[in-house]
Amino acid sequence: MDKLQLLLLLALALFAIGLLGVVIRRNLLVMLMCMELMLNAANLSLVTLARQTDTSAGAVLVFLVFVVAAAEIAIAIPIVLLLVRRRHTLDADAYADLKG
Protein backbone atom coordinates (compact mmCIF):
# COMPACT_ATOMS: atom_id res chain seq x y z
CA MET A 1 0.00 0.00 0.00
CA ASP A 2 1.20 3.47 -0.86
CA LYS A 3 2.50 5.67 1.96
CA LEU A 4 0.23 8.52 0.94
CA GLN A 5 -2.82 6.29 0.95
CA LEU A 6 -1.89 5.18 4.46
CA LEU A 7 -1.74 8.80 5.54
CA LEU A 8 -5.18 9.41 4.06
CA LEU A 9 -6.55 6.41 5.90
CA LEU A 10 -5.01 7.82 9.10
CA ALA A 11 -6.74 11.10 8.46
CA LEU A 12 -10.04 9.29 7.93
CA ALA A 13 -9.58 7.39 11.18
CA LEU A 14 -8.76 10.59 13.08
CA PHE A 15 -11.85 12.31 11.62
CA ALA A 16 -14.08 9.36 12.49
CA ILE A 17 -12.77 9.27 16.07
CA GLY A 18 -13.37 13.02 16.38
CA LEU A 19 -16.88 12.81 14.97
CA LEU A 20 -17.75 9.87 17.18
CA GLY A 21 -16.46 11.82 20.16
CA VAL A 22 -18.61 14.85 19.33
CA VAL A 23 -21.67 12.69 18.82
CA ILE A 24 -21.46 10.44 21.85
CA ARG A 25 -19.54 12.36 24.52
CA ARG A 26 -21.46 14.86 26.66
CA ASN A 27 -18.54 16.71 28.20
CA LEU A 28 -18.16 20.08 26.48
CA LEU A 29 -14.37 20.13 26.76
CA VAL A 30 -14.06 16.67 25.29
CA MET A 31 -16.37 17.70 22.45
CA LEU A 32 -14.13 20.68 21.74
CA MET A 33 -11.05 18.45 21.74
CA CYS A 34 -12.76 16.08 19.33
CA MET A 35 -13.50 18.99 17.04
CA GLU A 36 -9.81 19.86 17.06
CA LEU A 37 -9.14 16.24 16.13
CA MET A 38 -11.45 16.57 13.11
CA LEU A 39 -9.75 19.80 12.06
CA ASN A 40 -6.35 18.17 12.24
CA ALA A 41 -7.62 15.18 10.25
CA ALA A 42 -8.65 17.64 7.57
CA ASN A 43 -5.22 19.28 7.77
CA LEU A 44 -3.53 15.94 7.35
CA SER A 45 -5.56 15.07 4.29
CA LEU A 46 -4.86 18.52 2.82
CA VAL A 47 -1.09 18.13 3.23
CA THR A 48 -1.18 14.62 1.87
CA LEU A 49 -3.14 15.58 -1.19
CA ALA A 50 -0.89 18.58 -1.76
CA ARG A 51 2.06 16.26 -1.76
CA GLN A 52 0.28 13.84 -4.10
CA THR A 53 -0.53 16.44 -6.69
CA ASP A 54 2.73 18.28 -6.16
CA THR A 55 1.04 21.68 -5.64
CA SER A 56 1.39 24.12 -2.76
CA ALA A 57 -2.22 25.36 -2.55
CA GLY A 58 -3.24 22.66 -0.09
CA ALA A 59 -0.32 23.44 2.21
CA VAL A 60 -1.28 27.12 2.28
CA LEU A 61 -4.82 26.19 3.21
CA VAL A 62 -3.48 24.33 6.22
CA PHE A 63 -2.14 27.55 7.73
CA LEU A 64 -5.53 29.12 7.30
CA VAL A 65 -7.13 26.24 9.15
CA PHE A 66 -4.57 26.66 11.97
CA VAL A 67 -5.52 30.26 12.40
CA VAL A 68 -9.22 29.55 12.29
CA ALA A 69 -8.84 26.74 14.80
CA ALA A 70 -6.87 28.96 17.17
CA ALA A 71 -9.46 31.72 16.93
CA GLU A 72 -12.31 29.30 17.40
CA ILE A 73 -10.83 27.74 20.49
CA ALA A 74 -9.98 31.17 21.90
CA ILE A 75 -13.67 32.03 21.80
CA ALA A 76 -15.06 28.61 22.63
CA ILE A 77 -13.09 28.14 25.86
CA PRO A 78 -14.29 31.42 27.47
CA ILE A 79 -17.86 30.60 26.48
CA VAL A 80 -17.54 27.21 28.11
CA LEU A 81 -16.05 28.85 31.19
CA LEU A 82 -18.97 31.30 31.45
CA LEU A 83 -21.47 28.48 31.02
CA VAL A 84 -19.78 26.43 33.69
CA ARG A 85 -19.69 29.32 36.09
CA ARG A 86 -23.45 29.61 35.77
CA ARG A 87 -24.55 25.96 35.95
CA HIS A 88 -21.52 24.23 37.48
CA THR A 89 -21.58 21.45 34.94
CA LEU A 90 -19.88 20.54 31.70
CA ASP A 91 -22.77 18.41 30.49
CA ALA A 92 -23.95 19.70 27.11
CA ASP A 93 -27.52 18.51 27.73
CA ALA A 94 -27.81 20.91 30.67
CA TYR A 95 -27.78 23.82 28.24
CA ALA A 96 -30.80 22.84 26.16
CA ASP A 97 -32.83 25.96 27.03
CA LEU A 98 -33.59 26.91 23.43
CA LYS A 99 -35.14 23.62 22.40
CA GLY A 100 -38.57 23.76 20.79
Partner 1 sequence: MAHLLTWIVVLPLVGFVLNGLLGNRFGKSFVTVVGCGLPLAAFAAAMACVLDLIAGGAREPLVHVAYTWAVVGDRTFEVAFWLDRLAAVMVLIVTGVGSLIHIYSTGYMHEDRSYARYFAYLNLFLFFMLLLVLGRSLLVLFVGWEGVGLASYLLIGFWFEDAEKARAGKKAFVTNRIGDAGFLLGMFAVFWALGTLDMDKVNAAYMAGPPPAVAASVVGVLLFIGATGKSAQIPLYVWLPDAMAGPTPVSALIHAATMVTAGVYLVARMSGVYMHAEFASSVVAVIGVATAFFAATIAVVQNDIKKVLAYSTVSQLGLMFVAAGVGAYGVAIFHVYTHAFFKACLFLGAGSVIHALSGEQDIRRMGGLAKRIPVTFVTFAVATAAIAGIPPLAGFFSKDEILWYAFASGKGGSPLLWAVAAATALLTAFYMFRLLWLTFFGRSRMSHEVEHHVHESPLSMTAVLTILAALSAIGGFLALPHWLEMQLPLPPVPDALHHFEWPLLVVSVVIAASGLLGAWYFFGNDAARAQRVHAKGLHRLLSAKYYVDECYERWLGRPLVWVSDRLFLNVGDRMLLDGTLNGLARLAQRGAGVLSRIQTGSLHRYVLFVLAGSAVLLLWSIGRV
Contact 25, 32 (CB under 8 A): no
CB of 12 to partner 1, least distance (A): 14
CB of 3 to partner 1, least distance (A): 26
Contact 75, 67 (CB under 8 A): no
For residue 27, give the H/E element and its range.
none
Q: How far apart are CA 46 and CA 30, in angstroms?
A: 24
Please work out the total of residues on this chain that contact partner 1, with binding judged by CB under 8 A.
13
Interaction residues for partner 1, span 2-41 (CB under 8 A): 19, 22-24, 26, 31
DSSP state of 91: B
Closer CB to partner 1, 1 or 23, in the complex = 23
Distances from the Cα of 21 to the Cαs of 1, 63, 65, 74, 76, in angstroms? 29, 25, 20, 20, 17
CB of 22 to partner 1, least distance (A): 5
Residue of 30, 47, 65, 92 that binds partner 1 (CB under 8 A): 92
> Which spans of this chain sit near partner 1 (rule: CB under 8 A)?
19, 22-24, 26, 31, 92-93, 96-100
